[in-house]
Structure 1
Amino acid sequence: MQAVVLSAGTGTRMRPLTDTIPKPMLPVAGRPICGHVARDAVAAGADELVFVVGYEAQTVRDYFGGEYEGVPVSYVEQEQRRGTADALRVARAELDGDFAVLNGDNLYDADSLRRLFQSGPAVGATRVAEPSNYGVLDVEDGVVTGIVEKPEHPPSSLVNAGAYVFPEEAVDWLDVAESDRGEFEITDVLARVIRERAVTPVEFDHWLDVGRPWELLEANEWKLAEQETRIDGEVAEGATLAEGVVVEAGATVHSGVTIAGPARICAGAEVGPNAYLRGAVYVGPGATVGHAVEVKNSVVMADAAVPHLSYVGDSLLAPDVNLGAGTKVANLRHDDADVELTVKGERVSTGRRKFGAVFGPGAKTGINTSVNAGVTFSAGATSTPGETVLRDR
């Protein structure tokens, strides 16, 4: 079974976190998102991985190389990103026999992927409360009879989860018509497969589309909770670490640190002294969480720094962010309503009562800065000492 991992997109809804990193390569519990996809695909039975790359393609190539999880890896480049069916067309020459297609920015559980691979032709599915926002599957007697994109009156609550097993003949069905939004859609390929073959819906036990910043928090909450305790780095005697904490080789945890977990401290990262980490916390390679800093349920990416006397809750820090001493990030509204965030120029609900801020690559705050819940700092944005930041910067 070949598994094609679609990893070419720019991730505009995830900006500014994707200004320098392709969305499928954003970190989740020690691997990029698409690293979890690839690992679980291999665990489910894939014996070859084909990555469709585009935006920041070399980042993907450098991480996966020519072999991953014991199986060969190849790459094709989608120079003009014109949709998911177009991505498959680019990969057509690499395909031989039945093949799986997985979104590189989705998370799946390996057991469900295994059932998908064994059920082909098949489509991964999940049940949602508001199916009108998705491609909805129409199912009769255990067979998919159709798919309708974002219908006003959905035929079911079962929606397309962006995972497919297509028959070998499908390589000849990739030349679909351009959609109304100017792209070539894999759902049109699926519609052809549904007409030609009996397609099985495989309902996933656990699935997540990691499309917006708060979903990257959710992804880390999921995957950090699954990891087993492992201490390979240097941990001082005066530190207290709970179950579910991983300290990678080359990481340092100083005296007085409490890590309630689950958490992952990556190679080259430094925590403490006297820091407090609680909730699902990811501290990336070379990152710093310093003296008397509290970090709660957050993602601190590579080489970011929160050096002194700060509070960061339910937030995302891109690489090379630096928060000045005394920076405080609010993560709760006084009216207890869900925090809103700007996505593609519009304020939308995160669906989370607690959500802090998003700091783009290289953003910096002056000392004693206060940042309101739901604020985004663009790449390189700054604040001045003592400033209160209430709007996107």
Structure 2
Amino acid sequence: MKVVIFAGGRGTRISEESMLRPKPMIEIGGKPILWHIMKIYAAYGHTEFIICLGYKGWIIKEYFANYFLHNADMKVDLASNSMEILQNNAEPFKISLIETGLDTMTAGRLKRVLPYTGNEPFMLTYGDGVSDVDLDALLAYHRNSGKVCTMTAIQATSRFGVLKMQEDGTIDSFEEKPEDSGTWINGGFFVINPEIRDYLDGDMDEVMWERDPMDRLAATGQIGAYKHHDFWKCMDTLRDKEELEQMWEGRPAWKKW
């Protein structure tokens, strides 16, 4: 199944890094987070990708254009100006790199790549989040639901510490970062049927996928939530990047390869 990845945004909340490169190219453990996301999908057999390019998209193009060479073991004979590949270490990915506009919103980016998805279901995610979501279970859930779109839902964690207190204000305990706030949010990792084109009619360039199209799907009962209770993390800020780097040095939950 083809996988569409949003990779065109400016990443302003992590501008310390995104001034120089697109947010999906910010590295975790020496590899772009985009690579980590693709490896998650590849672990489940999904190796055909459609990348929605925008801000500094040429950097993503150059990365994959030179990927084979940069990851191969090779011998170079300078005298004869020849090169021999000793071992190919590249993944068996097929990648379509599609220019979807510098300032196009996510609904517009998705609409612009629909001609490349074909008349068949596809997967969609963002180029800045990793998870240990079971993609086989997600796909089975989607097929059984009969809906146009399935979204992976994750439980939001609080960014701030919370207090547990009595009615008179006496504090009983502190909790630094409660992992379950009781609220479910969009975790990306969608499965979408080709009928989605009916929800992307007209000019979508200034429309967020997360607003009008998803609102219309909800209004018609055509979007479902696959509840994921385990690891999920989005790289929104420099602090998120540093936390992901620390995880990578140990046993990163999203590494399934």
Q: Distance in 1 between matches of 2:93 and 2:18?
A: 28
Q: What RMSD, in angstroms, separates the aligned Cα atoms of the two structures? A: 2.6
Q: Distance in 1 between matches of 2:29 and 2:245?
A: 6
1:115–1:202 CA contact under 8 A, matched in 2: no
2:104 corresponds in structure 1 to 82
1:176–1:185 CA contact under 8 A, matched in 2: no
1:57 corresponds in structure 2 to 57
User: Partner letter of residue 73 of structure 1?
Assistant: I
Q: Distance in 2 between matches of 1:116 and 1:10?
A: 29
Q: CA deviation at 1:226?
A: 2.3
Q: CA deviation at 1:18?
A: 1.3
**Using CA pairs below 8 Å that are at least 6 residues apart, which structure has the higher relative contact order?**
2
Residues 224 and 190 of structure 1, relative CA distance in 2, 3 Å threshold:
farther
Which residue, out of 112, 121, 135, partners 2:134?
Answer: 112
User: Partner letter of residue 200 of structure 2?
Assistant: L
What secondary structure, in the 3-state scheme, does the structure 2 residue paired with 1:87 have?
Answer: helix
Residues 129 and 2 of structure 1, relative CA distance in 2, 3 Å threshold:
same
1:98 corresponds in structure 2 to 121
The 10-residue stretch of structure 1 (34-43 or 185-194) with the greater mean CA deviation from structure 2: 185-194
Aligned residue-pair number:
200
The 10-residue stretch of structure 1 (89-98 or 58-67) with the greater mean CA deviation from structure 2: 58-67
Q: Distance in 1 between matches of 2:247 and 2:201?
A: 37
Indicate yes or no: 2:247 matched with 1:222: yes
What secondary structure, in the 3-state scheme, does the structure 2 residue paired with 1:21 have?
Answer: coil
CA offsets per residue over residues 182-241 of structure 1, 9 Å max, x none? 9411123233334253624231521111011101111112222127xxxxxxxxxxxxxx
Residues 200 and 15 of structure 1, relative CA distance in 2, 3 Å threshold:
closer
2:190 corresponds in structure 1 to 164
1:40 corresponds in structure 2 to 40
1:191 corresponds in structure 2 to 215
Residues 45 and 176 of structure 1, relative CA distance in 2, 3 Å threshold:
farther
Which of the two has greater helix per residue?
Answer: 2
Q: Distance in 2 between matches of 1:13 and 1:25?
A: 15
1:126 corresponds in structure 2 to 154
Can you give the 5+ residue segments of structure 1 that lack an aligned partner in the other structure?
132-155, 228-393
Q: CA deviation at 1:30?
A: 2.5
Residues 211 and 184 of structure 1, relative CA distance in 2, 3 Å threshold:
same
Residues 214 and 176 of structure 1, relative CA distance in 2, 3 Å threshold:
farther
TM-score, normalised relative to structure 2: 0.69
Q: Distance in 2 between matches of 1:107 and 1:92?
A: 24
Q: Distance in 1 between matches of 2:202 and 2:248?
A: 36
Q: CA deviation at 1:104?
A: 0.3
User: Partner letter of residue 199 of structure 2?
Assistant: W
Give % identity. Answer: 24
Residues 198 and 83 of structure 1, relative CA distance in 2, 3 Å threshold:
closer
2:53–2:97 CA contact under 8 A, matched in 1: yes
Q: CA deviation at 1:116?
A: 2.2
Residues 128 and 54 of structure 1, relative CA distance in 2, 3 Å threshold:
same
What secondary structure, in the 3-state scheme, does the structure 1 residue paired with 2:18 have?
Answer: coil
Q: CA deviation at 1:177?
A: 7.8
2:151–2:223 CA contact under 8 A, matched in 1: no
Q: Distance in 1 between matches of 2:153 and 2:129?
A: 12
2:167 corresponds in structure 1 to none
- Greater gyration radius: 1
2:16–2:238 CA contact under 8 A, matched in 1: no
Residues 202 and 36 of structure 1, relative CA distance in 2, 3 Å threshold:
same
Residues 210 and 196 of structure 1, relative CA distance in 2, 3 Å threshold:
same
Which residue, out of 235, 250, 255, partners 1:210?
Answer: 235
1:23 corresponds in structure 2 to 23
What secondary structure, in the 3-state scheme, does the structure 2 residue paired with 1:17 have?
Answer: helix
Q: Distance in 2 between matches of 1:73 and 1:63?
A: 12
1:45–1:117 CA contact under 8 A, matched in 2: no
2:55–2:102 CA contact under 8 A, matched in 1: no
Q: Distance in 2 between matches of 1:122 and 1:206?
A: 19
Can you give the 5+ residue segments of structure 2 that lack an aligned partner in the other structure?
69-89, 143-148, 160-181, 253-257
1:112–1:205 CA contact under 8 A, matched in 2: no
Q: Distance in 1 between matches of 2:30 and 2:196?
A: 35
Q: Distance in 2 between matches of 1:224 and 1:122?
A: 32
Residues 116 and 23 of structure 1, relative CA distance in 2, 3 Å threshold:
same
**Residues 63-74 of structure 1 mapped to structure 2, 5 A cutoff:** 63-65=63-65, 69-74=91-96
